[in-house]
Amino acid sequence: MLTSQLKPQQEKSNFIIKTPKGTRDLSPQQMVVREKILDMVVGCFKRHGAKRLDTPAFELKEMLTEKYGEDSGLIYDLKDQGGELLSLRYDLTVPFARYLAMNKVKKMKRYHVGKVWRRESPTIVQGRYREFCQCDFDIAGQFDPMIPDAECLKIMCEILSGLQLGDFIIKVNDRRILDGMFAVCGVPESKFHAICSSIDKLDKISWKDVRHEMVAKKGLAPEVADRIGDYVQCHGGVSLIEQMFQDPRLSQNKQALDGLGDLKLLFEYLTLFGIAEKISFDLSLARGLDYYTGVIYEAVLLQTPTQAQESFNVGSVAAGGRYDKLVGMFDPKGHKVPCVGLSIGVERIFSIVEQRMKTFGQKIRTTETQVFVATPQKNFLHERLKLIAELWDAGIKAELLYKNNPKLLTQLHYCEDMGIPLVVIIGEQEMKEGIIKLRSVASREEVAIKRENLVAEIQKRLSES
């Protein structure tokens, strides 16, 4: 019996009703804002020819292990209940790679919107949660170099410009340039990943602190750390790429040269797309995830639109990169499917937009009701029900009050509170004359309409508004 498992009443008094740590409910107002943002993002994905995919919220545990490097500790494992060992998905990329390998798909342009789970220590103020929504776009398949990569950056620009979040910059680097840089600076290969995840913190903590972590915690020689320091503080455009081609140390490394060659080509395409000025080649960009193999990128806002909110630091709002070996990890024969993709940080974008709406005191309509069916008299419930069914059947969004005899004023106040634009009023007089009164809530003007013309008249009004 379930009741016997529930605590007796007296013990319940100290029970606090709350959502789990790092999660939250979204109110109707928040859902309206979120839907608008998601519609814009998905609209852009569709404009670029992507098809939608969905995968389970949990995966087999072994599908997720060893794909995320140091972040693997953040994966939520489900309790073993004597069946398969499962974990909640940590991102949408690894499930996509699993899908491609499992179905032997060699080519696909897909988008995926869904929740993911991470055992972060949540700082809700920065838009970081343990359960959050991700919006991904990826291009899988063997294509000529840098064309899909350039399109991914174009998509990021279109979305961030469209959402009008303020000025942004997209930092770009290449995993091969990073690995080449580590090699020529004297980092032992076994430490590449560990040092990479330290470098990845440069946008949050100073070079001094990153250097300390690399030397004190990760055992890197101080002179090696200093050599890395010379590189990671460089950022610029095409001229920096040229400069690195000439760099006495870096130019000796084949991996780094391959990466630089691809970035040079990438910038050529970005110029043709008209977005090169939004992109910065940044040698400190590391993207901690283990699966990246080539170009990596991250978009940051240069300032939040509400300058008063100085403390409101949001960090990166979109990121991605190339991962050519991930699908091969799932394939028994190791068949590779090269992929490149991006993830839009909708939660963070959502925090910014919400913050801005608070600052400017914008009111949000939480319903889309177009017409309210009202009456000034008693005993008109039957007429109202007949009338509202007619509106619903014609595809008109309509509501009424669930009362037999509501007061007219109560009904009109409801329309004003909810932002409903039109009211249809039916009473004794109207019934006698075979008409309905149509009232505009904003201007309070009323017109009499023949009962049979009502639907057409409402549709005409709605199409004009």
pLDDT band at 4 (very low <50, low <70, confident <90, very high): low
pLDDT of 349-387, one tens digit each? 998 898 888 888 888 899 999 999 999 999 999 999 999
Does pTM surpass 0.85?
Answer: yes
Whether 353 and 34 have beta carbons less than 8 Å apart is answered as no
Domains plus CATH for the chain? 28-360 (3.30.930.10), 371-464 (3.40.50.800)
Which range (130-139, 280-289, 446-455) has the least confidence?
280-289
Whether residue 76 is annotated as binding a ligand: the answer is: no
More confident residue, 72 or 44: 44
Whether residue 92 is annotated as binding a ligand: the answer is: yes
pLDDT of 220-264, one tens digit each? 999 999 999 999 988 899 999 999 999 999 999 999 999 999 999
Whether residue 138 is annotated as binding a ligand: the answer is: yes
Whether residue 118 is annotated as binding a ligand: the answer is: yes
pLDDT of 406-443, one tens digit each? 999 999 999 999 999 999 999 999 999 999 999 999 99
pLDDT band at 457 (very low <50, low <70, confident <90, very high): very high
Query: How much is the pLDDT for 122?
Result: 62
Query: How much is the pLDDT for 1?
Result: 54
Whether residue 439 is annotated as binding a ligand: the answer is: no
The Cα–Cα gap between 145 and 287 comes to 21
Query: How much is the pLDDT for 312?
Result: 47
Whether residue 287 is annotated as binding a ligand: the answer is: yes
What mean pLDDT comes out for the span 325-334? 92
Query: How much is the pLDDT for 315?
Result: 75
What mean pLDDT comes out for the span 387-396? 98
Query: How much is the pLDDT for 194?
Result: 87
Whether residue 271 is annotated as binding a ligand: the answer is: no
Query: How much is the pLDDT for 311?
Result: 42
What mean pLDDT comes out for the span 14-24? 90
* Mean pLDDT of the chain, nearest integer: 91
Whether residue 269 is annotated as binding a ligand: the answer is: no
Indicate if the pLDDT at residue 118 is higher than 70. Answer: yes
Whether residue 19 is annotated as binding a ligand: the answer is: no
Question: If 0-12 CB within 10 Å is exposed, 13-18 middle and 19+ buried, where does residue 152 land?
Answer: buried
Indicate if the pLDDT at residue 290 is higher than 80. Answer: no
Query: How much is the pLDDT for 355?
Result: 86
pLDDT of 51-72, one tens digit each? 999 999 999 999 898 777 767 7
Query: How much is the pLDDT for 234?
Result: 86
Q: Which of 331, 345, 313, 339 is nearest to 91 (CA)?
A: 345
Whether 64 and 76 have beta carbons less than 8 Å apart is answered as no
What mean pLDDT comes out for the span 276-286? 94
pLDDT of 186-226, one tens digit each? 999 998 888 988 998 888 889 999 999 999 999 999 999 99
What mean pLDDT comes out for the span 286-309? 78
Query: How much is the pLDDT for 125?
Result: 53
pLDDT band at 10 (very low <50, low <70, confident <90, very high): low
